[in-house]
């Protein structure tokens, strides 16, 4: 798994996390645009996901809440929940997904649109998936974003590789 982090004045926080999934690109792409699959894998280990709305089409939107297990005082939207809205900007079947998301939060440190570009390419034994994050809000530690992304990609691998076993 690869992680890269960059900071520039125009884009204060960016990162990129990659992983090889032992499944064809078509299966990985489907798991990225299916709300049931997204709820299963696109969530860090210490959270659960609830997909409120999900329209996987260019211009389509979604709303998702991630809730910390056991509660706590960690959430961006409430004490234990991160809720965000997203929109699909670009969908290239089996290759690229570009989304912009905004957290529902009164805290200005979580304001703004974060751009997520998911790229898929053939790799030995499967598909390399890379998630590139741009304009990560200042209230989100890039190291935490990277770790949550790695945990999510591990879930995606388990979901798709189990189906192939």
Q: Write out pLDDT tens, residues 98-126.
A: 999 999 888 888 889 999 999 999 999 99
Going by DSSP bridges, is the β-strand pair 126-134/14-21 parallel, antiparallel, or unpaired?
Answer: antiparallel
Q: When comparing pLDDT for 57 and 83, which is higher?
A: 57
Place of tokens 């898929």: 120
Residue 135's contacts (CB-CB under 8 Å, 6 or more residues apart) are 11, 12, 13, 14, 112, 113, 114, 115
- What is the biggest distance separating any 2 CA atoms in the chain, rounded to whole angstroms? 46
Has residue 77 got a pLDDT over 90?
no
Asked if CATH classification 3.30.530.20 holds for the domain at 2-164, the reply, yes or no, is yes
Residue 157's contacts (CB-CB under 8 Å, 6 or more residues apart) are 19, 21, 22
Q: Provide the edge-to-edge strand list for the sheet that holds 2-6.
A: 2-6, 14-21, 126-134, 114-123, 96-103, 81-92, 61-68, 47-54
pTM: 0.88
| Top-ranked range on mean pLDDT: pick from 1-5, 11-15, 21-25, 144-148 | 21-25
């Amino acid at each position: 798994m690869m992680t890269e982090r960059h900071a520039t004045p125009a884009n204060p926080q960016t990162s990129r996390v990659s992983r090889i999934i032992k499944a064809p690109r078509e299966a990985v792409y489907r798991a990225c645009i299916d709300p049931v699959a997204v709820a299963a894998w696109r969530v860090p280990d210490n959270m659960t996901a609830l997909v409120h709305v999900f329209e996987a089409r260019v211009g389509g939107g979604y709303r998702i809440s991630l809730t910390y297990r056991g509660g706590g005082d960690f959430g961006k939207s409430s004490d234990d929940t991160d809720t965000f809205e997203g929109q699909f900007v670009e969908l290239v079947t089996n290759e690229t997904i570009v989304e912009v998301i905004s957290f529902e939060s009164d805290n200005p440190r979580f304001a703004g649109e974060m751009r997520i570009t998911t790229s898929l390419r053939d790799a030995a034994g499967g598909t390399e998936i890379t998630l590139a994050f741009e304009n990560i809000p200042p209230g989100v530690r890039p190291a935490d974003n990277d770790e949550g992304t790695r945990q999510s990609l591990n879930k995606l691998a388990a979901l798709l590789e189990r189906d192939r076993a």
